[in-house]
Amino acid sequence: MSGFAPSYVTVNPNFMMPELIMQYSLASGAFTTLATENPMPRLGEADLYVYAKKVQLTTSVSANQSTANQLPSASVIPSMISTATYRLQTRAQYDNFDEAATGAWGYPLPEALRLAARQGIAQQLRNALLYGYNPANGEGLLNTAGATRVNLGADSNGNVGYSTWDSGQLAQFLLNMIGNLKTTTLQIGQPLRLVFLAPQRFVQQISYGGIVSLTQFQRIGAGVETAAGLV
C-alpha cells in the first residue's frame, strides 16, 4: 500500500481547484438493526470468546377445589452460550518520498491511509454483523436461529417482481410481515422500533416506485402515497 501519486504536467497560467474529487460510497445502515443502533465496545484486547448466561424459567401451578398435599414449584435452569471473537486488521506502508508525492496533489498521505483503513474495517464489521464469519455457527443476523425467509411470490395480477407488484398489495405484504414479526417476538400491542433492511433497489421501489391506488388507501395521502408511506 502506498500513495501511488505520479507526477503531472499542467499548462500555465492555470487555476488549480483546491477541492478533491473522490468516488462516493454509500454508508451502510446495517447497524441500525441493533437495539442500540451501534456496536457495544466491551471487549478487551486479548479476549478470545464472549460468554453470556441464560436463565429459563418454567412454573407449575396447582388448581384444586381443596388444598393439595404436594404443590408443584418453579424450575430455574441456567445455561451458557458463547461466540468467538475476531480481530480485524489492516496496514499502511509508506515513506517520506510517498508523503512528498501526495503533498504535491494536495492531501496528507497518513490521514488518507488512516481514513482508508477505517473504511475497510467498517465494511468488515458490516459483513460480520449481517453474515458472520462462520455462518454454520449461526453468526450474523441473517443466519440467526429462527430467522424466517419469505418469498414475495406474485400479486393478484400475476406480477412476480417487486418492481411490477401493485403498490397497495406490496404495502399490505409489508404490513403482514410486521404483524407476523411482532407476534413472533411477543410484541403485539407494544410500541417498538422496526427496521427494514433491504437493498437500495427495493427501498427505492417502495419509496418512489409507485403510488398506492385510491381504492386501496382511503386515508390521508390517498392517491399520492407510496407503499412505504402507507406502511
Give the start-to-end residue ranges of the domains of the chain: 1-42+91-147, 167-230
In angstroms and rounded to an integer, the radius of gyration of the C-alpha atoms of the chain is 27
Residues 6+ apart with CB under 8 A from 93: 1, 2
pTM of the predicted model as reported, rounded to 2 decimal places: 0.78
CA pair distance 93, 102, nearest whole angstrom: 14
Residues 6+ apart with CB under 8 A from 202: 162
In the numeric block, the cell 441500525 is attached to: 32
pLDDT of residue 15: 95
Q: What are phi and psi of 80, to 5 degrees?
A: -125, 140
Interval 134-189: pLDDT, tens: 988 889 999 888 787 788 888 888 888 888 888 888 888 888 889 888 888 888 88
Interval 181-213: pLDDT, tens: 888 888 888 888 888 888 888 888 888 877 777
pLDDT at 14 over 90: yes
Longest CA–CA separation in the chain, Å: 105
How far is CA 62 from its chain centroid?
46
